[in-house]
Amino acid sequence: MTALLEVEDLHVEFRTRDGVAKVLNGVGYHVDAGETLAVLGESGSGKSVTAQTIMGILDTPPAFVTKGAIRFHGEDLLTASDDRRRDVRGDGIAMIFQDALSALNPVFTVGFQIEEQLRIRRGMSRKDARARAVELLDLVKIPNAANRVREYPHQFSGGMRQRAMIAMSLALDPEMLIADEPTTALDVTVQAQIMDLLREIQVEREMGLILITHDLGVVADVADRIAVMYAGRIIEHADVFQLFRAPGHPYTESLLESLPRLDLKGQELKTIKGLPPSLTNIPPGCPFHPRCPRAVDVCRTDVPANHRLGLDRTSACHFAEEVVSRG
């Protein structure tokens, strides 16, 4: 059974005046209908770039895809024509972004921006499009949808705006939704509401959902599987329960350890020392080795392979098996 979406060995470079940044170095993951994959990582890990490559919205130049495949229903999008890629956007795979205020066009009403999908791509009449837009706003639980459809993005509160963006992304009934840090800019309480909404929609429509985030807490509730990214690589891939119970990579371990825990009050907060590597100058061997508490010589010279830790579970560490059994 082929997955709905399959990213395979993706390599992307950014070529700038100051050098070539290797932003993605062999990224691979898959998502099925009805399941949620969380892509976790710090800024600069490449999680957004992967998403943008899937959608085909990278600025080329300076970005260049040098290797890999992105298969949607088995079809490799990277070799598809521009028109075909455009077809898939919004209809096959839709994307929502972090900051709804800047992601929505400030000079058009929310209704206009939803309706244009329906009118331009489905050929609906203005009247029908308007009715459907109101329905969609209702669906995402925006009160008084019939009036709010005529309002501008800046007139909405942060949470409402994000809901409106979600409504817009659902207009063409996509099979898959990529949510790039959808709640990072929102209050904690609103965050929970939005995550619930996403989950609900996903279940109802049996959509595949890729949730990009750096927030472990968000992930625990919603994700089925987690892919942890570091320096343009997936360094661990596991089922959510497995990951939290027994992480298979030192980086994941450190991430979990750095979460503040109420039951360990009074102890020092743990951090991961050091900074992520500069992508124009990735260290040899394992990219995490400068910050890894377990690093030894082999880590500095050899790039770790993806060790299989179980069915659909991998970790890119020389000592993956030991790390996992420690948990």
Residues that bind other proteins (CB under 8 A): 55, 57, 59, 86-91, 94-95, 97, 99, 102-108, 116-117, 120-121, 152, 154-155, 168-169, 172
Closest approach, Cβ 18 to other proteins, in A, equals 11
Phi, psi of 266, deg, nearest 5: 95, -15
Nearest to 166 by CA among 206, 196, 125: 196
Closer to other proteins by Cβ: residue 78 or 103: 103
Distance CA 77, CA 58 (A): 14
CB of 291 to other proteins, least distance (A): 27
- Which is nearer to other proteins, 102 or 144 (by Cβ)? 102
Please return the burial class of 322, using the count of CB atoms within 10 Å of its CB with bins 0-12, 13-18 and 19+: exposed
CB of 258 to other proteins, least distance (A): 28
Q: Which is nearer to other proteins, 55 or 124 (CB)?
A: 55
C-beta of 87 vs 312, nearer to other proteins: 87
Residue whose structure tokens are 């825990």? 261
How far is CA 34 from its chain centroid?
16
CB of 165 to other proteins, least distance (A): 8
Euclidean distance between CA atoms 319 and 132, whole angstroms = 54
Q: Which is nearer to other proteins, 20 or 120 (CB)?
A: 120
Shorter beta-carbon distance to other proteins: residue 107 or 262: 107
Smallest gap from Cβ 141 to other proteins, in A, equals 21
Strands (E), the chain: 5-16, 19-31, 36-40, 63-72, 75-76, 93-96, 176-180, 208-213, 225-230, 233-239, 307-310, 313-315
| Residue 113 near residue 121 (C-beta atoms within 8 A) | no
* Minimum distance of other proteins from residue 55's CB (angstroms): 5
Query: What distance in Å separates the CA atoms of residue 12 and residue 232, rounded to the nearest whole number?
Result: 9
Considering the complex, state which of residue 84 and residue 308 has its C-beta at the smaller distance from other proteins: 84
Length of the chain: 327
CB of 209 to other proteins, least distance (A): 16
Query: Cβ contacts of residue 217 below 8 Å, gap of 6+?
Result: 259
